[in-house]
Structure 1
Amino acid sequence: MAENLSYFGVTPHLKNLRFCGFYQLDSNSSKMKKALHTAYMRLILSLILLYTCQQIMKVYQDRDDVNKVMDTMFLLLTNSDSIYKQIVLWKKAHRIEVLLSIMKGPIFNQKKQEHEKQLSATARQAKILLRVFNTTALFTCLLWVLYPVINVHVQGKPVEFAIWLPFDVNISPYTYFAAFYVWVQTSWLAFSNTTMDVFITFFLAQCKTQLSILRLDLEHIVEKSKEEAKISSEDFKNVLDTRLKIVLSHYDEIITFSGIIQEVFGGAVMYQFLVSGWIICTTAYKTVNINPMSVEFVSMIMYMSCILTELFIFCFYGNEVTHESEKLIESAYAMDWLEIPVKCKRALIMFMERIKRNINLVAGDLVPLSNSTFVSVVRSSYTFYAFLKNTN
């Protein structure tokens, strides 16, 4: 069994984020490496800000043409969301390190056989989601670049990119230079943004998994204590008392963990909800006028799928955390509490009073992370789209 199985699942995310210049190096790295990587992070942020400014200039340039503005707006909003998350990872890195330390700690990694299955499943799901999400995003960006190249070589049509450039992109070799520049920037942002989303989601998934493990320990605490007392020849009351203290410490650690998640990422997720409605709206506005048999249409559908998936995983795992915390009280009732000593019963009663208050994660201290929120955002997006279409 891995020593830090709880932390193991997040290592690919950290590797990607450090490679992309979105997160600091490990504290064990040398001062020289840290200094060079910090300079690298600043360079990456500068390039992303430059690309975003080019998009803003393009929107201003085409402000009288709604269709051209829509061609740029959905990517501009996505980039602004990515920049927000990047700044959060930079400014609140010390709090994120606390989350990582908790996942490395003994409470989240109790090295019990019954815990390994759930921790391994969470780590495996995180890796699969990261790989699929990254691959889909990169393939979408590749299709975006292929579209103007196909227009030039096959159909002989003029091309136009969704950024401002100081030269005519329809003059060779500027077409290929612009296509390469857009491909690098969008691919970098897509890879980084999807990694950040799955990174945040992993903390939610880990919180849910730890609650499931806590419920499992609580339901079987009496029988496990009896088994341990029989094997070790210790007093049952002492073994039970020790296990109950671990359960209480585990719950305290989960409360701390969930609180830091909301403190660090609540604002970023809230901004994601705010801009996603407009992103979906502008993407739909652009997609309905595209030939369904074209490469551009396929790329827009894939992009829309990525945005909807981002929203869904936040809401789904946030809803799962709340659901597991609600079931804690049922697990407390399900245990064989008739055989518990009076001293432990008192502690259990106090614990049951505490867990009556569910863990409800919210975005920006306002919007709950739940499945109903996902439905509300999608409905709002359709309302924005209908309004924009009717106005136009």
Structure 2
Amino acid sequence: MLKNILQKLENPKRPLLGPNVKVLEFWGLLLPKNVFKKYFYLLMHLMVTIFTATEYIDVWFVKSDLNLLLNNLKITMLATISVIKVSTFLSWQKYWIDIIEYVTRADLNQRKTEDKEKLDLLKAFTQYCRKITYLYWSLMYTTVVIVMVQPIFKYVSSETYRLNVKNGTETYLQVVSSWVPFNKNKMVGYLAASAYQSYAAIYGGGWITSFDTNAMVIMVFFRAELELLRIDCKDIFGTETAPVEHGIALKRLKECHRRHVELVKYARLFDSCLSPIMLLYMFVCSVMLCVTAYQITIETSPMQRFLTTEYLVFGIAQLFIYCWHSNDVLYASADLMLGPYESTWWSRGVQYRKSLYLLVAQFNKSIVFSAGPFTKLTVATFISILKGAYSYYTLLSQSQMK
């Protein structure tokens, strides 16, 4: 059954981005042309944005309780990132569509080949994209389910908590801490608030999964395209036993140059759309990881500690996947310059060597994604963020011990 559902997400016209584009359309990040549907999705987006604003308002009411404040902050900051992701995606819709169409066009062109090495590489990268997409979806919705069932689980499992709620010494645990213009400590008000909070959690989860997996798969595409381009560079002049004619070699040189120019153009466009978000994302992740780690140490309930740990794993995984794939693109970009030298250039005259030198100069433009103007998205950056988060955690722990 699951296999049939996943198969319906595939699109022969988009062999690499099929499931990702369908999910972008399902959650309304790629707006439909139908006017009614378009404004329906915009309304849904607006409702979640308003909900995020109520989370900030609630900070004022819970500021005296450190645990409630930390819970609010970690969810609110993640929700803020989601709102910014969607807002920029909608504002820069034209650019995102251009990037998606380029990825699809370039991917389809490469799949026309009969070269077994290239076909095997394309198959491996496609399977990898499906794995990270489906695993990320699973991790995200596991987190959403945990956030939603946490209040129910605590109410059912803790007799002390039930008694405290009934006698008024403790309030109901919310799905997501937010302000509402009615009393949410009464059953009717609590259920209404929980319904709105659950809706925001589910829809926000859809935002995160659709945006993040689309960006991650595009990063994988850039790495694959660089590796395929290197293979084509090795074959510019044919093999030692089967050299190609002057016209064919010249055509291959021009094609490799054209593909790299186009790749650099769209990589920079992609980076310009993603970079501002990643800059804020790094700051938010540092704070969120610090807060979640601190909550794990002060939590007394084993189940609550487990649930908080799962949230921490999700936060780390989000940032790590971006840094890991950007790091892959950086190294594939650096290795691309080896492609022309792996060809049989030594068997050709000076005329070809000059053209090859120009091609290598073009390949010297490194491709890597950034977090604003300050840092690159690499594994080294990811480690630095973890160190920073640990420093904040140590500072918070020591301040509470005094």
Fold equivalence (TM over 0.5): yes
The reply to whether residue 280 of structure 1 matches residue 262 of structure 2 is no
Deviation at 1:248, TM superposition (A): 1.0
Distance 2:106 2:129 in 1: 21
Distance 1:324 1:108 in 2: 21
1:17 corresponds to = 24
Deviation at 1:273, TM superposition (A): 1.0
Q: Call closer, same or farther: CA 1:252–1:174 in 2, change over 3 Å.
A: same
1:191-228 CA deviation, whole Å, 9 max, x = no partner?
A: 32122112111221111110000111112332269759
1:232 corresponds to = none
Moved more, 131-140 or 147-156: 147-156
1:307-351 CA deviation, whole Å, 9 max, x = no partner?
A: 111111111111111101111222222221112343322111111
Distance 2:120 2:97 in 1: 25
Q: Call closer, same or farther: CA 1:366–1:108 in 2, change over 3 Å.
A: farther
Q: Call closer, same or farther: CA 1:80–1:244 in 2, change over 3 Å.
A: same
The reply to whether residue 270 of structure 1 matches residue 279 of structure 2 is yes
Count of matched residue pairs:
375
Amino acid across the alignment from 1:197: D
Residue pair 1:6, 1:119 contacting (<8 A) in 2 also: no
1:243 to 243, 252, 261: 252
Matches within 5 A, 1:1-392: 7-25=14-32, 29=33, 33=34, 35-105=35-105, 109-110=109-110, 111-114=112-115, 115-156=118-159, 157=161, 158=165, 159-161=172-174, 162-223=177-238, 236-291=245-300, 293-294=302-303, 296-392=304-400
RMSD, matched Cα: 2.3
Residue pair 1:225, 1:239 contacting (<8 A) in 2 also: no
Q: Call closer, same or farther: CA 1:281–1:338 in 2, change over 3 Å.
A: same
Say which SS state the counterpart of residue 222 (structure 1) adopts.
Answer: coil
Distance 2:13 2:263 in 1: 13
1:76-125 CA deviation, whole Å, 9 max, x = no partner?
A: 00011001110111011111122122223358623213332223322222
Residue pair 1:207, 1:257 contacting (<8 A) in 2 also: no
Deviation at 1:289, TM superposition (A): 1.9
Q: Call closer, same or farther: CA 1:5–1:203 in 2, change over 3 Å.
A: farther
Q: Call closer, same or farther: CA 1:107–1:17 in 2, change over 3 Å.
A: closer
Residue pair 2:235, 2:343 contacting (<8 A) in 1 also: yes
Deviation at 1:276, TM superposition (A): 0.8
Of all paired residues, the percent bearing the same amino acid is 17
Say which SS state the counterpart of residue 8 (structure 1) adopts.
Answer: coil
Residue pair 2:291, 2:393 contacting (<8 A) in 1 also: yes
Distance 2:388 2:12 in 1: 40
Unpaired segments ≥5 residues, structure 1: 230-235
Say which SS state the counterpart of residue 58 (structure 1) adopts.
Answer: helix
1 or 2 for the larger relative contact order (CA 8 Å, sep ≥6)?
Answer: 1
